[in-house]
């Protein structure tokens, strides 16, 4: 449980940084300077800022939040990450569509509550779950990373199951080396004091 909490806090921190990058870069491309780089092109600026923010989020989650779970196949991991982000964006847009076209709320406040309130929370919950169990899950199941390793004194997963010990000849019930645990002066089947004459 403590590991999940730590991962969620780191995940939220990375998300906040990515959000600042998205908003800051969007406004810089669109409004900063006497001749902004993308003046009059808000969609292009929005796409570029979103892509850069997504890359920042991926790097932050890969090398910090879920560093103990990351895959060695970086390309596959990146594809999964971007796919999950597209689904997360779809969740937020879907909440906006439901609010506006099904429930009939058309105010700016309703739009922001739907997209940046409900949609943001649902999208965040989906992303965290997807990152933890789909994107950053290591290269195979059962090997999540060093934070999930067994405690000291227990056998590691890599060592494999221990082999059962084979008793030696000195411990077998037959053979010349067998010895009874009873005292030497009394055979196991004789009661002391009743020795035959």
Q: What is the pLDDT of residue 144?
A: 44
Task: Give the Cα-Cα-Cα angle 131, 135, 136 (nearest 5 degrees).
Answer: 80
Contact between 9 and 66 (Cβ < 8 Å): no
Q: What is the pLDDT of residue 120?
A: 83
Residues 6+ apart with CB under 8 A from 72: 139
Contact between 14 and 85 (Cβ < 8 Å): no
Separation between Cα atoms, residue 91 and residue 55, nearest integer Å:
20
Q: Give me the residues of the chain with pLDDT under 70, please.
A: 1, 139-197
Listing DSSP states for 111-125 in one string gives HHIIIIIIHHHHHHH
Q: How many CA atoms lie within 13 A of 49 on its CB side?
A: 22
DSSP state of 148: G
Handedness of CA 176, 180, 184, 187 (dihedral sign): negative
Contact between 156 and 149 (Cβ < 8 Å): yes
Distances (CA, A) of 66 to 25, 31, 70, 128, 187: 26, 35, 6, 10, 67
Residues 6+ apart with CB under 8 A from 120: 92
């Amino acid at each position: 449980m403590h590991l999940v909490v730590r991962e969620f806090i780191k995940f939220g921190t990375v998300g906040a940084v990515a959000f600042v990058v998205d908003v800051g870069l969007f406004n810089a491309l669109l409004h900063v300077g006497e001749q902004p780089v993308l003046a009059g092109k808000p969609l292009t600026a929005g796409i570029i800022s979103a892509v850069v923010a997504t890359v920042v989020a991926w790097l932050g989650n890969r090398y910090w939040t879920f560093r103990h779970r990351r895959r060695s196949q970086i390309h596959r991991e990146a594809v999964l990450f971007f796919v999950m982000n597209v689904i997360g964006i779809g969740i937020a847009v879907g909440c906006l569509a439901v609010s506006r076209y099904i429930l009939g709320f058309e105010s700016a406040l309703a739009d922001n509550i739907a997209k940046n309130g409900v949609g943001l929370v649902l999208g965040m919950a989906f992303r965290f779950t997807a990152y933890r169990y789909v994107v950053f899950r290591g290269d195979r199941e059962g090997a999540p990373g060093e934070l999930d390793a067994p405690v000291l004194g227990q056998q590691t997963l890599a060592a494999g199951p221990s082999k059962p010990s084979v008793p030696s000849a000195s411990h077998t019930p037959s053979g010349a080396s067998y010895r009874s645990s009873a005292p030497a002066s009394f055979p196991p089947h004789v009661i002391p004091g009743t020795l035959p004459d």
